[in-house]
Amino acid sequence: MSKYQYVPEPALVKGDHDFASITHLVTDVNLRPTPKAWYLLMLPANALLGLLLVSIGYLIWEGTGIWGLTNPIGWGWAIINFVWWVGIGHAGTLISAILFLFRQDWRTAINRFAEAMTIFAVMCALIFPAIHVGRIWVIYWVFPIPNQMVMWPNFNSPLLWDVFAVSTYFTVSLLFWYVGLVPDLATLRDKASDKMRQIGYGLFSLGWNGSNRHWWNYEKAYMILAGLATPLVLSVHTIVSFDFAVSVIPGWHTTIFPPYFVAGAIFSGFAMVLTLMIITRKVYGMEDIMTNDHMEKMNIIIMVTGSMVGFAYMMEFFIAWYSGVEYEKAIFILRATGPYAWAYWIMMTCNVISPQFFWSKKLRTNVTFTFIISIVVNIGMWFERFVITVTSLANDYLPSSWDYYSPTMWDALTYIGTFGLFGTMFLLFLRFLPMIAIAEVKAVLPQADPHNYDDNGTYHAPVEEIPEHVTVAKSNNA
C-alpha cells in the first residue's frame, strides 16, 4: 500500500451526453417559447434600469452636486462603483483567455457565460467615468479629437490612460465573445425552425458552415486573441490602480497597487460568476455541464486570490511602518481605527476571513455555502474600494480640512440602477444567445478525440491507467 492516492480527473461533462444532446440541451433554451418567469424577472430589471436612467438624467440636469461629494472628498461612489464593476468583469477574461492559454479544459462550460458577464459589467462600469465629469456634453475632450480649445488630451495622465485601457478592454472583450459565438450562432441557425430566428441567427453567424479550413484559421485567431487579452486584462486593472497610485496621497502612492488590484479584481469576478452560475444552472437545468467540480475549482481560485488580497492588506501596513513616513503610517492606523473603521472591518471580514473557509473540501463543494460566500466577497470588494477611495481623501495631510463623507440618495440609486442594466442585459443574453459554448464543450467530450475510436469506428470510452499499489481517491459527486 502506498501512502499516495490516485486522484482521477473528474469528467468535464456529467451524465450520458453525446454531441446531439449537448446541442439540444443548450439551444433548446433559446428556441423554446419564452418562459413566464423570464418576464417576471425582466420586470424588476427594467424598473431598476429606468431608475438608472432617471438618476443619470437628474445628474446631467442638476450636476454632480446631487452626490455626496465634498471638499476634500472629491471622489466618491462613482469611482468606487467603476472600479468594482470593472474588477468583476476581469473574471470573464481570465476564464476565457488565461485559462485557455493554460489549457484548462474545464473553462469551456463557463466561458461564454463569464464573458457575457464581463461585457455587461464593463458597460455598467463605463457609465460612471462618463457621467462623473459634470459637463457630459464635452466628454469628447478625453479623446484625441479636435476640440474648440485646439488642445489635445494630456498623455501623462493616468485618467487618460484609463480611457484607452477600458475602451480597448471593452472592444476586445466584445470581439472575443463574438468570435466564440459565431459557430454556436450557426448551430442555432441550423436548429431553428422559424424564419425569424433563421434570418436573425443566420445574419450574425456570417455563413459559418463548420469547414475545417475555417476552423484552422479560427483556432489560430482564438489563440492569438487569448494571448492578446491576457496582458490586456492585467494592464487594465493596473492602469485603474494607477488612477490612485500615481497621486501623491497617503495610502494611494504605493507600488503594490497594480498586482493587488488585479488579484482583487479576479477575486470579486469569480465570486460574481459563481453567484450567477449557481442560479442559472439550477433554473435552466445545466448541472450536467456546469458541474460542482467547476464550482470547486472556482472556489479554489477565490481562496487563492482572496489570500493574495489579504497578504496585500498586511503588506500595506508593513510598508507604511517601514517607510517611516508619518502620513503613510497615520492613514493606515486611521483606516483600522478611525471614522471609517466599520468599513475597514467589513472589508477585512468579507475579503480575508470568508475565503479561508474554502480550505475545507466539504465547504467548497457545498452549493449553498458557496453562494453565500460569493455574495459576501462582492460586498467585501465594494468596501475595499470604499476604504481606499474615501479614507485617503477624507483624512489627508491637513487635519484642519478633514471631513466625513456621506453618500446621498442619488449615489445609492445610481448604483442600484446599474444592477438593472446588468440584469436586463443578462436576461436578454440568456434568452437569445447560447449560454454555453456549444462547440467548445463538444470538443472536450471524450467522443471528440479520434483516438477513442477503434479501426471500425466504434467509440470506446477512455480508461484511466491507475498505477499498481496505489489506492484511488474518491472523486467528487461521481
Partner 1 sequence: MSAETKKMYGILAEFNNPKELIDVSKRVVELGYDKFDTYSPFPIHGIDKAMKLEKSKLGWIVLGHGLLGFSAAVTMMYFMSVIDYPINISGKPFFNAPAWVPVTFELTILLSAFGAVFGMFFLNGLPRFNHPLFTIDRFKRSTDDKFFVCIEATDSKFHADQVHEFFKEAGAAHIEEVYE
The residue within the footprint of partner 1, chosen from 152, 318, 322, 404 (CB under 8 A), is 152
The residue within the footprint of partner 1, chosen from 71, 148, 156, 400 (CB under 8 A), is 156
Q: Rounded to whole angstroms, how far apart are CA atoms 387 and 381?
A: 10
By beta-carbon proximity to partner 1, the closer residue of 183 and 251 is 183
By beta-carbon proximity to partner 1, the closer residue of 187 and 307 is 187
By beta-carbon proximity to partner 1, the closer residue of 165 and 433 is 165
* Neighbouring residues of 406: CB distance < 8 A, sequence distance ≥ 6: 68
Find the distance separating the first CA and the last CA of the chain, reported in whole Å.
Answer: 24
**Per-residue binder mask for partner 1 (CB under 8 A), 95-134, x = binder:** ----------------------------------------
How many C-beta neighbours within 10 Å does residue 82 have? 24
* Neighbouring residues of 18: CB distance < 8 A, sequence distance ≥ 6: 445, 447
Could you give phi then psi for residue 472, rounded to 5 degrees?
-100, 125
By beta-carbon proximity to partner 1, the closer residue of 48 and 289 is 289
Residues 303-342 that bind partner 1 (CB under 8 A): none
Residues 338-397 that bind partner 1 (CB under 8 A): none
Half-sphere exposure of 83 toward its Cβ, with a 13 Å CA cutoff?
A: 31
9 is a site residue for partner 1 (CB under 8 A): no
Residues 403-462 that bind partner 1 (CB under 8 A): 438-440, 442-443, 447-453, 457, 459
144 is a site residue for partner 1 (CB under 8 A): yes
Q: Rounded to whole angstroms, how far apart are CA atoms 393 and 335?
A: 11
| Cell numbers found for residue 371 | 453562494
By beta-carbon proximity to partner 1, the closer residue of 70 and 452 is 452
261 is a site residue for partner 1 (CB under 8 A): no
How many C-beta neighbours within 10 Å does residue 470 have? 13
| Cell numbers found for residue 184 | 454556436
Q: Do 83 and 129 touch, CB atoms closer than 8 A?
A: no
Residues 176-205 that bind partner 1 (CB under 8 A): 176, 178-179, 183, 186-187, 189-191, 202-203
By beta-carbon proximity to partner 1, the closer residue of 163 and 387 is 163
Residues 224-253 that bind partner 1 (CB under 8 A): 224-225, 228-229, 231-232, 235, 239, 242
Q: Rounded to whole angstroms, how far apart are CA atoms 111 and 97?
A: 9
Q: Is the peptide bond before 72 cis (omega within 30 degrees of 0)?
A: yes
The residue within the footprint of partner 1, chosen from 23, 93, 392, 395 (CB under 8 A), is 23
CA torsion sign, 143 to 146 to 147 to 149? positive
The residue within the footprint of partner 1, chosen from 43, 221, 279, 472 (CB under 8 A), is 221
Q: Near partner 1 by CB under 8 A, which window of 73-81, 85-93, 219-227, 352-360? A: 219-227
By beta-carbon proximity to partner 1, the closer residue of 454 and 468 is 454
